[in-house]
């Protein structure tokens, strides 16, 4: 954020073009999140925090200040509340969006300056957390490991290091031979477009696989572990992540392959008792029916790839029950799942979450 402008990587143009876009109002930020120019739980959260900070700046410019009073003017408070509702309505599933918006909203209720500081702190904490996730996750990866991942949970999706890919990058940088199977991740192809692009930039050996190839590779003994990110983790450890994660977890369980979720504690939501409470986003059917890409001359086209006249269903996420998850790689360490499948009550609960959970259940 510089002179009240948020700079961000336009992810819809990748891997064909690297473009930095600017958002100068909170509305611009909302459009960027809704249209998935910026996507991935952490990136969405950071953007939502900056959106709230921009809203606070413009609300303070427009407010009628009464300098006789210490309190912030009512119209400032009302504008902030309206902006918060609009930001929170952009996408429903990623918990980091709500976590960041609340943190910056609370700061903005004190002053716009505090809102800006807080938004930067949220982004900085994301970067620090994802680095720690990389360090802890690296300890689980052996030399020669073949790792399957789903969707994109790299540094495009979570500030600076990523979540699921952070351990992979650390393992690669520390000299281990690692190989990644990147699920294509239809319909928006975050794996084929973004994960593959990131891995290529980092020099990590990988192949893109069709979404329906994972179980077969596991059955052939070609996958040593699965690591994915998360969009929201319920109190019992059930985890919402990109659609298609569940079937990889079931297959990994069947073949005795460790299945890890990599996510910071800011992705855990003690307000959701189980996965049943997580709102799953339904996206437009056009994402399934059409695909976009460049022709041989670099001109982008959108083409129909399904039978004309048919409709499509497009749930963006699924919920993997805790029983299929081997452990959670957080910034506090690797948390094993509870045998009862009740993660946040368990002794292995990340320390910073214990208070939240106790508050909710008191
Ligand atoms: O592309 P999105 O925002 O719809 O998907 C979210 C994700 O990137 C994934 O589900 C990811 O695996 C977890 S977010 C680091």
Same structural domain, 123 and 174? no
**Same domain, residue pair 245 and 279:** yes
DSSP characters over 212-244: GGHHHHHHTT--SEEEE--SEEETTS-EEEETT
pLDDT at 59: 87
CATH code of the domain covering residue 267: 3.40.50.10470
40 occurs within a structural domain? yes
| Residue 335 pLDDT | 86
CB contact at 8 A, 166 and 15: no
CATH number at residue 48: 1.20.120.420
Tell me which residue range forms the domain holding 30. Answer: 6-129
Coil, strand or helix at 24: coil
Give me the phi and psi of 327, to 5 degrees please.
-175, 170
The answer to whether position 152 is within a domain reads no
- Phi and psi at residue 180, to the nearest 5°: -115, 130
The verdict on residue 355 lying in a domain is yes
> Quick check: is 188 in a domain?
no
- Which domain-ending residue is among 101, 129, 157? 129
Instruction: Decide if 346 is catalytic.
Output: no
Per annotation, catalytic residue among 126, 211, 231, 346 = 231
| Rounded Cα gap, residues 286 and 294, in angstroms | 18
Nearest residue by C-alpha to atom 9 in ligand 1? 242
- Rounded to whole angstroms, the Cα distance separating 166 from 67 reads 49
Q: Answer positive or negative: Cα dihedral of 280, 283, 285, 289.
A: negative
275 and 315 part of one domain: yes
Ligand 1 mutation target, pool 12, 41, 284, most atoms within 8 A of CB: 41
Residues 140 and 76 in one domain: no
Domain presence at residue 229: yes
Question: How many angstroms is it from 165 CA to the middle of ligand 1?
Answer: 12
- What is the Cα–Cα distance from 273 to 270, expressed in whole angstroms? 7
Examine the domain organization and report whether 44 and 140 are in the same domain: no
**The pairing of beta strand 333-336 with beta strand 327-330:** antiparallel
Same domain, 103 and 139: no
> Which residues of the chain are modeled with pLDDT < 50?
1-2, 339, 347, 357-362
Note the pLDDT tens digit of each residue in 49-93. Answer: 999 999 999 887 766 665 555 566 667 888 999 999 999 999 999
The ligand 1 atom nearest the CA atom of 44: 3
User: Does residue 164 lie in a domain region?
Assistant: no
Same domain, 350 and 223: yes
Q: Are residues 120 and 223 in the same domain?
A: no
**Claim to verify: residue 115 and residue 223 sit in the same structural domain:** no
146 phi and psi angles, rounded to 5 deg: -110, 115
- Contacts of residue 138, defined as CB under 8 A and 6 or more positions apart, other chains included, come to 167, 170, 171, 174
Whether 159 maps to a domain, the answer reads no
Q: Are residues 140 and 66 in the same domain?
A: no
Helix locations, the chain, DSSP H? 26-34, 41-62, 74-88, 95-108, 112-138, 165-173, 190, 196-202, 214-219, 245-254, 286-289, 351-361
Residue 163 covered by a domain: no
| Total domain count, the chain | 2
**Residues 110, 250 share a domain:** no
Q: Are 112 and 58 in contact (CB under 8 A)?
A: no
Same-domain pairing of 237 and 282: yes
């Amino acid at each position: 954020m510089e002179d009240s402008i948020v700079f961000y990587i336009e992810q819809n143009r990748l891997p064909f073009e690297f473009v930095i876009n600017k958002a100068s109002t909170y509305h611009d930020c909302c459009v960027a999140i809704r249209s998935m120019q910026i996507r991935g739980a952490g990136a969405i959260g950071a953007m939502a925090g900056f959106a709230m900070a921009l809203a606070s700046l413009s609300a303070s410019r427009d407010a009628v200040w009464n300098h006789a009073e210490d309190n912030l003017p009512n119209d400032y408070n009302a504008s902030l509340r309206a902006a918060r509702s609009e930001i929170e309505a952009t996408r429903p599933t990623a918990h980091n969006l709500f976590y960041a918006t609340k943190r910056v909203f609370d700061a903005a209720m004190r002053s716009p300056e505090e809102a800006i500081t807080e938004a930067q702190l949220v982004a900085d904490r994301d970067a620090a957390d994802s680095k720690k996730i990389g360090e802890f996750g690296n300890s689980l990866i052996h030399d020669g490991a073949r790792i399957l991942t789903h969707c994109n949970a790299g540094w495009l999706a979570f500030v600076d290091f990523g979540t699921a890919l952070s351990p992979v990058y650390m393992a690669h940088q520390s000299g281990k031979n690692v190989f990644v199977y990147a699920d294509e991740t239809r319909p928006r192809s975050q794996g084929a477009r973004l994960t593959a692009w990131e891995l290529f930039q980092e020099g990590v050996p990988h192949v893109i696989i069709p979404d329906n190839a994972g179980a077969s590779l596991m059955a052939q003994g070609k996958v040593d572990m699965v690591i994915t990110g998360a969009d929201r983790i319920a109190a019992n450890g059930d985890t919402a992540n990109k659609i298609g994660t569940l079937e990889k977890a079931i297959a990994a369980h069947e073949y005795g392959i460790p299945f890890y979720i990599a996510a910071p504690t800011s992705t855990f939501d003690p307000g959701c008792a189980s996965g049943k409470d997580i709102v799953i986003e339904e996206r437009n059917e056009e994402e399934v029916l059409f695909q976009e890409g460049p022709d041989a001359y670099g001109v982008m086209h959108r083409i129909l790839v399904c039978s004309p006249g048919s409709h499509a269903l497009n749930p963006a996420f699924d919920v993997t029950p805790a029983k299929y998850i081997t452990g959670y790689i957080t910034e506090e360490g690797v948390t094993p799942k509870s045998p009862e499948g009740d993660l946040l009550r368990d002794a292995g609960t990340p320390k910073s979450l214990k208070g939240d959970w106790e508050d909710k259940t008191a």
